[in-house]
Structure 1
Amino acid sequence: METIIIATRASELALWQAYHIKDRIESSFPNVTVKLNKIVSKGDKILDKPLALVGGKGHFTKELEDEMLAGNADLAVHSLKDVPTYIPDGLELVAITKREDQSDVFLSHKYESLESLPKGAIVGTTSLRRRMQLLKQRPDLKIKDLRGNVNTRLRKLEEGQYDAIILAWIGLSRLDLLKEIPFTQKLPLDRMIPPMGQAALGLEIVSGSTKLKNIAMSVNDENTFICTKCERDFIAKIGAGCSAPVACNATISGDTITLQTMIGYPNGTNILQDSITTSIESYENLGLNLAEKMIEKGALDILKNAEKIAFKDEMPERL
């Protein structure tokens, strides 16, 4: 019997994801036993400020990667949206699971929908991408930082600290928490464009083992791999981190693939939006091509200025 060790964050959602991959591997490879190495990441420890203000990248992945490089794990399971486009030497991002519903969802104990929120309502999110798109639609809203694991965020909503909060639908669905919320509204993808990699899991392995790579590849979904490669190429080209106010989403319809993006200020102004479509056979440079179009329109200056004004109220000394 061969043993594979999966490095995973210790949060409830991360453990759901790791056990999901463990079950799939053990089902496909009966002589393989999978064990978990549970780790508290930097992103799970820093709860007193938005991660966009912390600096650096890989807040939810670095400790897992360190464990693999130290020989204490063979494979890591990540929420792909948290994985930086740079992968350290000695590691490979080799498989992406089939993408599920990428929608963000509006949650409230008081109001039925985003449209029904009164002027000046307090909406919780730490995501600059969500903040940008919310304020583009509803500049009258007050956006308030929201940190903590899923259960902590839902508790803060129930306590009345927020009139509504916005989270990823998939995490709540996996943990069966949607039924606890009186009012929920799934936001259409054209209204709230997702971030790179949302609703897919990424499997990162220690390089050098063909057998380990084959095991990880058993959960790979080719269409999701193609879509997320385009998204990750786009993000890498423009140099945006996981916390930047950037929405980026690729979808396949028939024989074509479309990549759309939105970049702007966190306050919902200075928005750049574009998309590009090609045949699936020609997808290889799709992300790079769209990035070049956005750079020509001024995306790099917008990102630079967006970082300066992000969370201005929370940390004015940065200006």
Structure 2
Amino acid sequence: MTRKIIVGSRRSQLALTQTKWVIAKLQEQFPEISFEIEEIVTKGDRILDVTLSKVGGKGLFVSEVEDALIEQRIDFAVHSMKDVPSELADGLMIGAMPKRENPLDCLIFKDVSHLEELAEGAVIGTSSLRRAAQLLHKRPDLTIKPIRGNIDTRLRKLQEEDFDAIVLAVAGLKRMDWLDKIEQKYVFLEETICLPAVGQGALAIECRTSDTFVQEMLVNLQDPETMLAVTAERTLLKALDGGCEIPIAGHATVRNGQLELKGLVSSVDGKTFYQITEQGNDPKALGLSVANQLIELGAKEIIQGLRDNG
């Protein structure tokens, strides 16, 4: 007898592409299972005229999906990991993290081809405080202007509005096969210029802790190195109690079984800037250590100050 599995996904083109990729991978291993997508509109999808940092709160793109999981309207959900709060709702767990896509950010230009070539005061489109703060740290003269919408919407705004460049995640561009379609010049921003968001480039497949059938199925998609790296990053984020309203970045890599975690906290204008790099073997211990070092440098004062003024 065929069993049907309902998969929750945001309605955006990227989210659906990611969800269909996960289903295709599972279908190869479990041909007897029937998969169906339940499209869910989240708060983050509904509010498009305000930057995410001003909307505030955690789980802007996952709360409604988690509700559907808890209410058993869906069996598992596919998220972009960077959208998933460091604290999951009760009764839920990350069932798998597939192999991570490129975690870097991409700067797409209207006319020039390098960050250094942008004129003084050039307008950069991004609604991410993390991206804005790091770009301002490198180029304090830049003007940051909020931009929201899907990939194609932002690329159209780059051409039609007063942007000199916009920032997008490489992972989304690659998953949507957009890199070959972009007519403008672009560069991948190395970590020395723009450290990625926690979990960027990774997918989170979330399920109920009580659903052992789904858990046993999802474990086939687990990538151990991605799990180790993202666990370190998310431990860092949780220890700093950070969200999209704070310029926090974190990226971990695994080399020869050794973890390296880079963590960053900045003021919105990029003038106060703390960064730590450390190696270790235990992802949670490493995340806590980097967070504590950032706190000792003054990260907590930045975070609290932004919350008080928010």
Equivalent residue letter for 2:283? Y
Equivalent residue letter for 1:118? A
Quick check: 76-85 or 94-103, which moved more?
A: 94-103
Tell me the TM-score normalized by structure 1: 0.93
Distance 1:23 1:60 in 2: 23
Equivalent residue letter for 2:306? A
1:164 and 2:181 are equivalent in the alignment:
no
Quick check: 245-254 or 169-178, which moved more?
A: 169-178
Residue 160 of structure 1: how far off its partner (Å): 3.1
SS at match of 2:115: coil
> What does residue 80 of structure 2 align with?
79
> What does residue 210 of structure 2 align with?
208
Equivalent residue letter for 1:238? L
Contact preservation (8 Å) 2:110, 2:159: yes
1:1-319 alignment runs, 5 A limit: 1-178=2-179, 179-278=181-280, 280=281, 282-307=282-307
Contact preservation (8 Å) 2:54, 2:245: no
Residue 29 of structure 1: how far off its partner (Å): 0.9
SS at match of 1:218: helix
Contact preservation (8 Å) 2:104, 2:190: yes
Root-mean-square deviation (CA, aligned residues, Å) is 1.3
Contact preservation (8 Å) 2:265, 2:274: yes
Residue 190 of structure 1: how far off its partner (Å): 2.5
Alignment gaps of 5+ in structure 1:
310-317
Equivalent residue letter for 2:203? L
Residue 308 of structure 1: how far off its partner (Å): 5.3
Residue 144 of structure 1: how far off its partner (Å): 0.4
Distance 2:283 2:104 in 1: 24
Residue 161 of structure 1: how far off its partner (Å): 2.8
Residue 305 of structure 1: how far off its partner (Å): 2.1
Residue 109 of structure 1: how far off its partner (Å): 2.1
Q: Write the deviation string for residues 269-290 of structure 1: whole angstroms up to 9, x where unpaired.
A: 1101111112x3x334110111
Equivalent residue letter for 1:29? F
Residue 306 of structure 1: how far off its partner (Å): 3.5
Residue 188 of structure 1: how far off its partner (Å): 1.2
Distance 1:307 1:118 in 2: 33
Contact preservation (8 Å) 2:129, 2:244: no
Residue 175 of structure 1: how far off its partner (Å): 1.3
Distance 2:70 2:197 in 1: 28
Q: Write the deviation string for residues 129-188 of structure 1: whole angstroms up to 9, x where unpaired.
A: 101100000000000011112121111011133110011011112212222232111111
Q: Write the deviation string for residues 21-79 of structure 1: whole angstroms up to 9, x where unpaired.
A: 01011111111111100011111110111111112110000111111112210100000
Equivalent residue letter for 1:39? I
SS at match of 1:56: coil
Distance 1:93 1:253 in 2: 24
> What does residue 313 of structure 1 align with?
none
SS at match of 2:244: coil
Residue 307 of structure 1: how far off its partner (Å): 4.3
* Identity rate, percent: 38
Contact preservation (8 Å) 2:128, 2:244: no
SS at match of 2:44: helix
Equivalent residue letter for 2:127? T
SS at match of 1:244: coil
Distance 1:242 1:160 in 2: 25
Contact preservation (8 Å) 1:123, 1:142: yes
Alignment gaps of 5+ in structure 2:
none
Distance 1:284 1:261 in 2: 14
Equivalent residue letter for 2:176? L
Distance 1:202 1:5 in 2: 16
